[in-house]
Each structure stands twice: as C-alpha cells, then as structure tokens.
Chains A and B, each alone.
Chain A
Amino acid sequence: MNIFGLLLLILLALMLCFAVAAVLMRNLVKAALCLAGSSACLAVILCFLVAPWAAIFELSVCSGLITVVTISAISLTTPYSKDEENELIKKRRARYVALPFILLIVGVVAGYALLNGQTGLMPTMSNASTFASFKEVLWQLRQVDILGQIIMLLAGVFAVVVLFKERDEA
C-alpha cells in the first residue's frame, strides 16, 4: 500500500468517526459540527477520486450551507427542559449502545464478502480523455438535470415562502 492509499484510508476512517459522532453527540450543535467535519473529509476523498468540482460543492454547500441551516434551526428551538434532559440521557445510552456493534459486525461481514465473493466488477480505470470534459458533460449531456435543478430551486423558494414568510392568522 502506497502513501496515497494510506491517506485515503485515514480519511475514510475519519469520515466514519465524524458520522458516528454526529449521531451519538448529545448536544445538537456539536452534532451538526461533526456532520460538517464528516462532509469536509468527504470533500477531500472526492478530490482523491478525481471529482474536484464535486469536492468544491461538497465543501462549500454541504459542509457550509447545510450546517448553517441546521444550526439556525437549532437556535430557533430549545429541545428539552432540564428534567426531561436528565431522564433522556440515561435512555439515550441504551438506545444507541448497539450502533458500534452493528457497525463492527456489518463491516467484518461485508469485508469478508467483498474480498472473497464473486463480483463481476472489473475496474476498468480507463483514462479520462475518452470521456467528454466535465463542462461538456454538465451543460450538454445533463441538460435535463440542469432544468431539474432550476425547478427544484423554484420549489425551494415557494417552500420557504409558505413555511417561513406566511404567518398564521391564529
């Protein structure tokens, strides 16, 4: 294994740790920050997997914008009263204790299956030049997706108007 592989492995482990932490963290703000960390790791991994543009979007939008959205939602709400919280902490542990074990078992089983199983997968690893460049792909091959993105943003705008702008009469 070369240095490239080692680095990738560390990043994958880090990403998984951040993801698990985001789920296990009791404090929601910290959980959101862990999510951002996981997202940042993913961005670097994407760079390794020859997807630099996707990495930029992942870093700025997922790790930035979504964190902002979640944290503003958290700050608009107060989750529990003190008593409820104390009671919940005990129950939380019981509910989430299974997660590491599940991950361990699934990881081992999947690793065994993948290393020994028959997968017709042939990594072709052809060089990128046989395919159209990224700009061409996005603007010519994926026109329908671009149209879809525009419509989705329209949907998002109307959603925000309905959910945030309109106040209740009651």
Chain B
Amino acid sequence: MMPIFTAILIAALLVIITGFFCLTQTRNLLRVIIGVEVAMKGVTLLLAFAGYINGNYDLVQAFIITMIVMEVVVAVVAAGIAVRVYEKNDSLDIRKLTKLQG
C-alpha cells in the first residue's frame, strides 16, 4: 500500500483508540460525550477513506452526512441526560452512579 494511505488508516485507528481510552478512564459524564465524539471522528475519517479508495465518493458523502445528523442527536440526548444526572446527584462523577448494582 502507498505510505500516505497507510498514514490515513493509522491516524484513524489512533483517533478511535484515543476516544475509547477516554471512555475507559474518565470519571466525568461530560467527558464521556467528548470521548464518544473523538471516536466518531476517527470512524468518519475511516469511512471517507474507504470511499476514496474505491472511488465511491458520492455514496460515502451521503453516509457521512447521515452519520453527522445521528451524531448530533446522540450528543444532544447524552448532554441532556448528563445535565439531569447532575441536577439529581449534584455531581458529574461517574462513580456516584451506584444505584443499580448486583
């Protein structure tokens, strides 16, 4: 493979890993949203690259636009739930979510 393609793939992979790493380590509900968004950036790059490789640019553009719409709604809902949790618990700490265990 051409080096530049390899670079794109690796960059996408690393961005996705960064996002997932954030999800595993964070203790803050809002940073969870940031982690998810970071991972989604990597996925978007991967999809765009896939379209570029096989020449299906237009189909992939339609995919990405749909994906962005989905992403925004998810982010809004996640932020809404996080704010509500904050109102109930007076904290954004994920470790205080311990009502449900067993």
Expressed in whole angstroms, the Cα–Cα distance for A160 and B72 within the complex equals 12
The residue that B54 contacts in the complex, of A5, A124, A159, with Cβ under 8 A, is A124
Size category of the B interface is 35 or more
Residues of A68-104 at the interface with B, using a CB-CB cut-off of 8 Å, are 69-70, 72-74, 76-77, 79-80, 88, 95-96, 98-99, 102-103
Chain A, Cβ-Cβ closest to B29: A77
Question: Do the beta carbons of B10 and A39 come within 8 Å of each other?
Answer: no
The residue that A1 contacts in the complex, of B3, B15, B19, B28, with Cβ under 8 A, is B3
B97 interfacial contact with A, CB 8 Å: no
Closest chain A CB from B3 CB (angstroms): 7
Chain B, Cβ-Cβ closest to A11: B11
Over the window 17-35 of chain B, the binary record of Cβ atoms lying under 8 Å from chain A Cβ atoms (1 yes, 0 no) is 1110110010110110111
B70 interfacial contact with A, CB 8 Å: yes
- B residues within 8 A CB of A111? 6, 10
Question: Do the beta carbons of B58 and A58 come within 8 Å of each other?
Answer: no
Expressed in whole angstroms, the Cα–Cα distance for A132 and B13 within the complex equals 30
Question: Do the beta carbons of A115 and B1 come within 8 Å of each other?
Answer: yes
- Determine the main DSSP class of B at the interface with A: helix
Question: Do the beta carbons of B64 and A22 come within 8 Å of each other?
Answer: no
Closest chain B CB from A29 CB (angstroms): 10
Chain B, Cβ-Cβ closest to A131: B58
The residue that A73 contacts in the complex, of B30, B71, B93, with Cβ under 8 A, is B30
Residues of B76-102 at the interface with A, using a CB-CB cut-off of 8 Å, are 76-77, 79-84, 86, 92-93
8 extra A-B contacts, CB within 8 A, seeds A16-B14, A42-B44, A66-B37: A19-B19, A23-B21, A38-B41, A99-B21, A110-B10, A137-B61, A156-B76, A156-B77
- B-binding residues in A (CB < 8 A): 1, 5, 8-9, 12-13, 15-16, 19-20, 22-23, 28, 31-32, 35, 38-39, 42, 45-46, 49-54, 57-58, 61-62, 65-66, 69-70, 72-74, 76-77, 79-80, 88, 95-96, 98-99, 102-103, 106-107, 110-111, 114-115, 119, 121, 123-128, 130-134, 136-138, 141-142, 145, 148-149, 152-153, 155-156, 159-160, 163-164
